[in-house]
Amino acid sequence: MEDARHPRRSRALVEGLLGRLQARLAAGEREILVAPPFTALESVARLAAGRGLLVAAQNCFNETKGAYTGEISPGMIAELGASHVLLGHSERREIFGETDALVRRKVEAALAHGLSVILCVGETLAQRDAGLTLEVVEGQIGAGLSGLVLDQPARLTLAYEPIWAIGTGRVATPEQAQETHAALRACLHRLGHPANQMRILYGGSVKPDNVDGLMAQADIDGALVGGASLEVEAFARIVEFEA
């Protein structure tokens, strides 16, 4: 929901989703989560409370207190009513220079404050063309999760977002996405994590017309949706995928 900047617009979008997906939410058939900007986080969390819709922050700081003017700590996010936080998004890594080490500290801080984490990994077009996809994403996972104790593995979700497919209209084929997802799950096993208890989402230009093929893959457990999440009907169709 990066473009839904105004709190009123964010609330209107969520109200539309709550109405459109009411039956799905009531049945608890699929876990649905929205990630509004910080300016709308509290109001959206209040709107979603008790209605089956989960709420995530788009980022958080890696320290819990101190003189860090302008930063938002995990504790602040929890107090606002969010249950999840998105970390390591490609834009944070590429534009703001967040390193694997910094992302790791954020993961630890968020988990320590009871937040569930969606950890993003992904490669650039140059890295894919050079055959470095698995080396890059496995390196990001290793830096983010190696040695990390997960008392509740389900609180850590991976999101594979090929950078070359974000906002470009391009998308990995279901087979390409499955190959990487399977490698990521194997990597989790090697790191000692119960990979079968952890979800791996695909996030790269997921749209109503490609979600069914992606979700039919064995190791794709869900979708991290970008632009299509800003339209109620488009997002609802993705939620209602047919695998």
Q: Is the dihedral of CA 31, 32, 36, 41 positive or negative?
A: negative
pLDDT for residue 61 = 98
pLDDT in the model for residue 7:
84
Distance CA 67, CA 24 (A): 43
| Residue 73 located in a structural domain | yes
Mean pLDDT by 10 residues, the chain (243 residues): 66 95 90 96 96 97 94 97 97 95 97 97 93 96 92 95 82 92 96 94 94 97 94 96 83
CATH number at residue 220: 3.20.20.70
Residue 199 belongs to some domain of the structure: yes
Specify if 1 maps to a domain.
Answer: no
Q: What's the pLDDT at 1?
A: 41
CB atoms within 10 A of CB 79: 12
pTM metric for this prediction: 0.94
pLDDT at 5: 54
Work out how many domains the chain is built from and give that number: 1
Residue 34 and residue 53 in contact, taking contact as beta carbons nearer than 8 Å: yes
- Whether residue 223 lies inside any domain: the answer is yes
Q: Which pLDDT belongs to residue 6?
A: 72
Size (the chain), residues = 243
- Find the catalytic residue in 123, 138, 161, 181: 161
Q: Residue 94 sits in which domain range?
A: 7-239
Residues in contact with 16: Cβ distance below 8 Å, sequence separation at least 6, in sequence order: 232
Task: Give catalytic status of residue 161 as yes or no.
Answer: yes
pLDDT value of position 168: 74
84 is catalytic: no
Answer whether residue 111 is part of any domain: yes
pLDDT in tens, 109-138: 999 999 999 999 999 989 999 999 999 999
84, 89, 181, 193: the catalytic one is 89
Is residue 56 within 8 Å of 118, Cβ to Cβ? yes
- Does 2 map to a domain? no
